[in-house]
Amino acid sequence: MTESTDLTRMTAARLASVVATGDASAVEVAQAHLDRITAVDAAVHAFLHVDTAGALAAAGAVDAARAAGGAAALGPLAGVPLALKDVLTMEGIPTTCGSKILEGWRPAYDATVTRRLKEAGVVILGKTNMDEFAMGSSTEHSAYGPTHNPWDLTRIPGGSGGGSAAAVASYEAPLAIGTDTGGSIRQPAAVTGTVGIKPTYGGVSRYGLVALASSLDQAGPCARTVLDAALLHAVIAGHDPLDSTSIDLPVPPVVEAARHPDVRGMRVGVVRELTGDGYQAGVQQRFDESVALLEELGAEVVEVSCPHFPYALAAYYLILPSECSSNLAKFDGMRFGLRAGDDGTRSVEEVMGRTRATGFGDEAIRRIMLGTYALSAGYYDAYYGSAQKVRTLVTRDFAAAFEQVDVLVSPTAPTTAFKLGAKLDDPLAMYLNDVATIPANLAGTPGLSLPIGLAPEDGLPVGLQVMAPVLADHLLYRVGGALEAAMLDRWGAPILDGAPAL
């Protein structure tokens, strides 16, 4: 049997192989990661709920199936542990979305992503921390306390999916699921030195994903390598009749692209509007080095202008709150979750008001109010309508750019991980963390964040973003895989073993 510490350091692809060959059982793999969670999660706080019994039972089922000769029916990630963002439902398991208003809710059904993971034999360890209802860029807006970056426990792990990224970065899980509304997979990946992918909108089912902004939300993989992300992508992707926005087309060949990455002959566009001013010097330096490396690998690199990208942030923060105010209206204390002030003497309206005031945090209330205002009579066209017009212009920028190049690249986030609390009192400064990732959500295009080294001024991870045309998700893995392989000898990936925090 392999030592537990070795099991937690293996890639998902390697763990799947170890389980398949019998070098370690799925139960041993699950237990090793549960032990790791016990050892470090008090400091990291990546998890809101650890399902020890469920994980060991699922792992035992994988081992039993293999022993009975049923290995052929299991998926390529059978027996591999995973951390699930607490915005996806899992039957009988607490699902809070990082909010007090859903405290104690145990869904009666699985999200499609959850069901597909179970069917593939993936072992779900538990639910990860997040900004409340996925509203935030630092996981400080969770009602259950912040998650800490494994590189430096005084810093943020990104958001809203900081729990998923931190679980992967701290070796508590080799894989995780995040959701990306404006960068909530990619930005945490960038600041934790992990790989994160937002698939094409509609490429992964949203059924059972508690909605923040229905036209923007997208679930996707978090991992430590490009291949691991591709293997997970293939498991969760595909058409779902339960989701009206699900695309009824074949899943792009993401695993093949990750296994055989090559950028020779590709045209790579550097987005002029997403570099330079406003970007930390070390972030820009590592990005420039990576672009030069792509040229060395045989890609043709050109500068591309997307003139409406600078307006994407403002448009997003009208569209998202508007959809948020509508989607979160159902959390009123009447059907499930928290009910506050119901002493038998108050009206339904009073109980609803007290429940929402008590159950929602400051950021959720801020965005609900913004969205309600933007949708109100007399302001709809001026705010929400105008934002949708900007969205169209951003989408046209992408279309024009992809007539010239195969993929676009930029830094994923303008800075490395900042200190916990540094931007809590300045919402606009917090929102600017998503300036580079938001355009892809507005247009529905896929995006990947890849770790490209450490910023020289603070020794913290930097991410490079790759964006591809709609349904060309495989190009993300082709570029990301080639760059990852070329950089491996340069700086090592990942290099968390020496992180002072753990």
CB within 8 Å of 160: residues ≥ 6 apart: 98, 130, 131, 134, 135, 136, 137, 139, 141, 179, 181, 184
188: enclosing H helix or E strand: helix 186-192
Between CA 173 and CA 221 the distance in angstroms is: 12
Pairing of strands 267-271, 300-304: parallel
Query: How are the residues of the chain apportioned to helix, strand and coil, as percentages rounded to the nearest 5?
Result: 45, 15, 40
Q: Can 85 be counted among the known catalytic residues?
A: yes
Q: Can 389 be counted among the known catalytic residues?
A: no
Amino acid at 173: A
Looking at the DSSP bridge assignments, the partners of residue 123 are: 81
Among residues 4, 85, 100, 127, which one is catalytic?
A: 85
Per-residue pLDDT of the chain (502 residues; tens, 9 = 90+): 444 458 999 999 999 999 999 999 999 999 999 999 999 999 999 999 999 999 999 999 999 999 998 766 788 999 999 999 999 999 999 999 999 999 989 999 999 999 999 999 999 999 999 999 999 999 999 999 999 999 999 999 999 999 999 999 999 999 999 999 999 999 999 999 999 999 999 999 999 999 999 999 999 999 999 999 999 999 999 999 999 999 999 999 999 999 999 999 999 999 999 999 999 999 999 999 999 999 999 999 999 999 999 999 999 999 999 999 999 999 988 877 888 877 777 888 888 888 898 999 999 999 999 999 999 988 999 999 999 999 999 999 999 999 999 999 999 999 999 999 999 999 989 999 999 999 999 999 999 999 999 999 999 999 999 999 999 999 999 999 999 999 987 766 545 555 556 7
Among residues 142, 164, 184, 410, which one is catalytic?
A: 184
Between CA 194 and CA 174 the distance in angstroms is: 10
Amino acid at 465: Q
Q: What is the pTM of this model?
A: 0.96
| Protein fold of 4-258+268-307+400-498 | Amidase signature (AS) enzymes (3.90.1300)
- Label each residue of 119-176 as H, E or C: HCCCEEEEEECCCHHHCCCCCCCCCCCCCCECCECCECCCCCCHHHHHHHHCCCCCEE
Sequence ranges of the domains in the chain: 4-258+268-307+400-498
Among residues 4, 138, 142, 160, which one is catalytic?
A: 160
Q: Can 246 be counted among the known catalytic residues?
A: no
